[in-house]
Amino acid sequence: MSATPAPQPAPTHAQLEAVLQAALYLLGARQDRMVTIEEWTDLARTVASCQERKTADYLTEHDLEDIAERYALDWDEATDGALPTVDED
């Protein structure tokens, strides 16, 4: 027996526009044979927003480590989720 997921509220027009824009970026990146961490994070963030989840839920542990260690992305733990702790050696 599987649990039925709770119904989700309908996404807002702004959320749908953000998903469309992120999808367009992803398609363009694929055509150029590359996807940046910024584009991948934007896609994860907009999908998470529509699903009422955290951005981190849609990224791999490797992506999260890269964001924490190497990239200066605008990251809000309240909406995006926690990043792994970076050890400063």
Distance, CA of 69 to CA of 24 (rounded, Å)? 27
Residue 15's contacts (CB-CB under 8 Å, 6 or more residues apart) are 46, 49, 50
- Specify whether the backbone of 81 is left (phi greater than 0), alpha (psi in -120 to 50) or beta: left
Nearest to 52 by CA among 12, 24, 4: 12
User: Is this prediction's pTM over 0.85?
Assistant: no
Residue 9 has pLDDT above 90, yes or no: no
How high is the pLDDT of residue 89?
56
Q: What tens digit of pLDDT does each residue of 14-43 get?
A: 988 988 888 888 878 877 777 888 888 988
As a whole number, mean pLDDT of residues 60-67 equals 90
| Contact call for residues 10 and 51 (beta carbons, < 8 A) | no
For the segment 65-69, the average pLDDT, to the nearest whole number, is 91
